[in-house]
Amino acid sequence: MGELAALFAPERVAVVGATDREGSVGRAITENLLADFEGTVVPVNPKREEVLGRPCVSSLAEADADLAVVVVPPSVAVEVVREAGENGIDNVVVITAGFGETGSDGAAREEELRAVAEEYGLNLVGPNSLGVLSTRRGMNATFGPDNALAGNMSFMSQSGAFITAVLDWANDQGIGFKDVVSLGNKAVLDEADFVNEWGDDPETDVIIGYLEGIEEGRQFIDTAREVTKDTPVVLVKSGRTDAGAQAASSHTGTLAGSEQAYETGLDQAGVIRADSVQELFDAARVLESQPLPDNDNVAIITNAGGPGVMSTDAVGDSRLGMASFSEETLDAFSKSLPEEGNIYNPVDIVGDADNERFAEALDVALADENVGCALVLSCPTAVLDYEQLARDTVTLQKEHDKPVAACFMGGARVDEAAGVLGEAGIPNYFDPARAIEGLDALVRFKELSTREYDDPTTFDVDREAAREILGRAAERDEPRLGVEAMDLLDAYGIPTPEGGIATDPTEALDLAQPIEGDVVMKIVSPDILHKSDIGGVRVGVPNEEVYDAYEDLITRARNYQPDAEILGVQVQEMVDLDSGVETIVGMNRDPQFGPLMMFGLGGIFVEVLEDTTFRVAPVTETEAAEMTGEIDAAPLLRGARGRDPVDVDTVAETIQRLSQLVTDFPAILELDINPLVAMPDGAQAVDVRLTVDLDELERPAEPTESETDKPLTEPDQ
């Protein structure tokens, strides 16, 4: 087991602040512990001799405990935690509220708490937590109304109230848990720690969670990636909508971060994301009890035509496919099914089917190696016994060891059968779509658990040059940079067209002359974000017009904004747009996940098209390649309508090089290369725009690993 094993399996639990007082949290926790805990409960309260009939000790020094649950007022909570540390109690659950969630005094107190925990190396849950429970030894150190049933899911939640609601419902449903933790404010232990712990725990088969935010996005991705190779993680992350994000931030003070980053980050972490509590438990239950399918194809066996069609639609919406049966299977169906039945998938065994026909059809389908999983779909009839069908389904599922979902439709008559199915880990649903979603979760997890994660490539770049270029921005005290920072891309080996910046018409001509053919000229000003919007980009300028074009561009900029700061005019080699595709490669820094890389269809209509895909940096070669294939316009890159395919390898390499740049320089807050023109023989970044954090730039940069073991001025290749 992992490092937090003792938190969930202590011998002696001290409750600091234990009391008899009716209605108090201190009493609720003590009672819950006394109810079922196989270990020893030690009430700690200097003002009492005994609590609920148990002798009290006056301080943690006398408790000899290996877990301390802290229920004292906030003003003394930090001191109590220090006492735990001094007395060698490594595991502490702080129930007490009144920390980071309550304003600046609370935040300062939480800072102190964190410092004490760090000083003594404590595993600290909370503060502002409902508590922890572990069913293996009956430990319920929460102040919720119910204990949990034993099971193999472990559950973490950022909302304590949600835990109490879930346990109440799960007890009704017969759903059990291994460990449950209310994360509270996550001052020390957070979601990544528990994912890591439960990943190592052989008794946890599925990890589920309700989160409002993730503290350290990148670290979470790296941890969860490892764990999801064999343990499924299913999470509800609330705050998906702007209004939801607002509500979450006032709830626990979590900085919400962008929904886009969460969606991307959770996917990269190998996590199955559920959009609702129903989805969370539907997925968790099948993942807990059913085997993974060998292939993604489902057989539907039904006595009802209409629901058969509905299920087929649900398959169409999922990752599953409809299985095509082998000759042998079709023969068997022809022999056993009546004329009016359907031997192809969905298999219609007809409304007069009795239990024998149903079971035989399911047996035949599950024996077919083209079938990865099956749905038993049934409507009530006079000749069918639901309980018998449930028993047959359970037996055949075990025999073939393939996942089976059940959709026995009906009302109260289904209850007994659903009980039989449920006990064998086959949830029954009225709605065929939900049953199919369960099978879909298995396929999804199979996909996630077999993903290969490579390390990001480290390119040989001129980091020092990049630092200088960014340093110039700091000197100018200007956070917004445009094409004047084109050499930043050069420093990281991202191809750019020949060109430079002129500050007068003669200089512009000097720059244009050595460039073959016509040139492109653009106004350069931090005050003009979209150059073409104000006529600030002139494409196809012959040398003889360069002088006038210079004057014209400056005039346009002045007309647009008289006080605009104008740095000059860029003169740039023409790029062949006819054979290329304009793409965009960008980055936005998210407060939780850090640099979020974007790739999409580019050009001046990018906001209208919104054809984009994302990854949290650093982006690996595989991920960059996936990105180029994921956008709707991907067929354009592959060469639609007789055009030559573009060089997607160079595009993917550009994504990775930019990923390295923004990882190396946290001062870059956002950056867009738009367009990166992708052509059959390479790609060219013709425009760049970025925003930097000037304060961060002025701080002396810490050398990173790649810098310390390499000379700074290593030449670019």
Chain contacts with ligand ADP (rule: CB under 6 A): 497, 520, 522, 530-532, 537, 539, 572, 574-575, 577, 582, 603-604, 674-675, 686-687
Q: Which is nearer to ligand ADP, 170 or 537 (CB)?
A: 537
d(CA 322, CA 299): 6
CB of 78 to ligand ADP, least distance (A): 53
Chain centroid to CA 600: 20
CB of 605 to ligand ADP, least distance (A): 9
Quick note: the x/- pattern for Mg ion over 684-713, rule CB under 5 A, is ---x--------------------------
Q: Which is nearer to ligand ADP, 422 or 580 (CB)?
A: 580
Quick note: the x/- pattern for Mg ion over 615-654, rule CB under 5 A, is ----------------------------------------
The one of ligand ADP, Mg ion, none whose footprint includes residue 530, by CB under 5 to 8 A per kind, is: ligand ADP
CB of 497 to Mg ion, least distance (A): 13
Q: How many residues does the chain have?
A: 717
Chain centroid to CA 15: 36
Q: Which is nearer to Mg ion, 437 or 687 (CB)?
A: 687
Q: Are strands 233-237 and 206-211 parallel, antiparallel or unpaired?
A: parallel
The one of ligand ADP, Mg ion, none whose footprint includes residue 59, by CB under 5 to 8 A per kind, is: none
The one of Mg ion, ligand ADP, none whose footprint includes residue 575, by CB under 5 to 8 A per kind, is: ligand ADP
CB of 587 to ligand ADP, least distance (A): 17
> Using CB atoms, what's the residue nearest to Mg ion?
687
Q: Are strands 54-55 and 50-51 parallel, antiparallel or unpaired?
A: antiparallel
The one of ligand ADP, Mg ion, none whose footprint includes residue 410, by CB under 5 to 8 A per kind, is: none
The one of ligand ADP, Mg ion, none whose footprint includes residue 653, by CB under 5 to 8 A per kind, is: none
Q: Which is nearer to ligand ADP, 93 or 534 (CB)?
A: 534
Q: Which is nearer to Mg ion, 311 or 674 (CB)?
A: 674
d(CA 180, CA 131): 8
The one of ligand ADP, Mg ion, none whose footprint includes residue 101, by CB under 5 to 8 A per kind, is: none
**Between the CA of residue 520 and those of 354, 450, 584, what are the distances in Å?**
78, 48, 19
The one of Mg ion, ligand ADP, none whose footprint includes residue 577, by CB under 5 to 8 A per kind, is: ligand ADP
Contact 62, 40 (CB under 8 A): no
Residue type, 59: S
Q: How far apart are the first and last CA of the chain?
A: 47
Strands of the sheet with 499-502, listed across from one edge: 499-502, 568-573, 519-524, 537-541
The one of ligand ADP, Mg ion, none whose footprint includes residue 603, by CB under 5 to 8 A per kind, is: ligand ADP
Chain centroid to CA 469: 34
The tokens of 495 are what? 């191809």
Contact 679, 649 (CB under 8 A): no
The one of Mg ion, ligand ADP, none whose footprint includes residue 564, by CB under 5 to 8 A per kind, is: none
Q: Which is nearer to ligand ADP, 88 or 517 (CB)?
A: 517
CB of 613 to ligand ADP, least distance (A): 20
Q: Which is nearer to Mg ion, 134 or 674 (CB)?
A: 674
CB of 364 to ligand ADP, least distance (A): 60
303-362 positions binding Mg ion, by CB under 5 A: none
**DSSP helix, strand, coil percent of the chain (3-state; round to 5):** 40, 20, 35
∠ CA 673-677-679, nearest 5°, is 150
CB of 571 to ligand ADP, least distance (A): 10
Q: Which is nearer to ligand ADP, 300 or 486 (CB)?
A: 486
Q: Which is nearer to ligand ADP, 6 or 577 (CB)?
A: 577
Q: Helical H runs in 152-258?
A: 160-173, 191-199, 217-227, 242-252
CB of 604 to ligand ADP, least distance (A): 5
CB of 514 to ligand ADP, least distance (A): 15
**Between the CA of residue 347 and those of 319, 323, 381, what are the distances in Å?**
20, 11, 17
**Between the CA of residue 329 and those of 332, 357, 371, what are the distances in Å?**
5, 15, 10
The tokens of 691 are what? 């925003």
Q: Which is nearer to Mg ion, 595 or 602 (CB)?
A: 602
User: Does 582 interact with Mg ion (rule: CB under 5 A)?
Assistant: no
Q: Which is nearer to ligand ADP, 196 or 674 (CB)?
A: 674
CB of 627 to ligand ADP, least distance (A): 20
Q: Which is nearer to ligand ADP, 365 or 686 (CB)?
A: 686
Q: Which is nearer to Mg ion, 285 or 522 (CB)?
A: 522
Please list, residue by residue across 278-302, b when 16 or more beta carbons sit within 10 angstroms of its beta carbon and e when fewer do.
ebbbbbbbbbbbbebbebbbbbbbb
Question: Which residue from 648, 539, 693 is spatially nearest to 603, judged by alpha carbons?
Answer: 539
d(CA 264, CA 241): 15
d(CA 671, CA 702): 22
The one of Mg ion, ligand ADP, none whose footprint includes residue 4, by CB under 5 to 8 A per kind, is: none
CB of 484 to ligand ADP, least distance (A): 12
d(CA 159, CA 137): 24
CB of 617 to ligand ADP, least distance (A): 23
Which range, of 142-150, 212-220, 682-690, 695-703, touches Mg ion by CB under 5 A?
Answer: 682-690
**Burial (0-12, 13-18, 19+ Cβ within 10 Å), 686:** buried
**Between the CA of residue 508 and those of 343, 495, 570, what are the distances in Å?**
76, 22, 8
d(CA 9, CA 154): 14
CB of 674 to Mg ion, least distance (A): 4
Q: Which is nearer to ligand ADP, 158 or 525 (CB)?
A: 525
d(CA 485, CA 578): 26
Q: Which is nearer to ligand ADP, 90 or 687 (CB)?
A: 687
CB of 677 to ligand ADP, least distance (A): 7
Q: Which is nearer to ligand ADP, 363 or 478 (CB)?
A: 478
CB of 479 to ligand ADP, least distance (A): 17
Strands of the sheet with 131-134, listed across from one edge: 139-142, 131-134, 177-182, 150-157, 206-211, 233-237, 272-274
Quick note: the x/- pattern for Mg ion over 661-680, rule CB under 5 A, is -------------x------
The one of ligand ADP, Mg ion, none whose footprint includes residue 522, by CB under 5 to 8 A per kind, is: ligand ADP
Q: What are the backbone angles phi and psi of residue 410, rounded to the nearest 5°?
A: 140, -175
The one of ligand ADP, Mg ion, none whose footprint includes residue 520, by CB under 5 to 8 A per kind, is: ligand ADP
Q: Could you tell me which residues come within 8 angstroms of residue 192 by beta carbon, excluding any fewer than 6 positions away? A: 214, 215, 216, 219, 220, 223, 224
The one of ligand ADP, Mg ion, none whose footprint includes residue 574, by CB under 5 to 8 A per kind, is: ligand ADP
User: Does 484 interact with Mg ion (rule: CB under 5 A)?
Assistant: no
Residues found near Mg ion in the complex (CB under 5 A): 674, 687
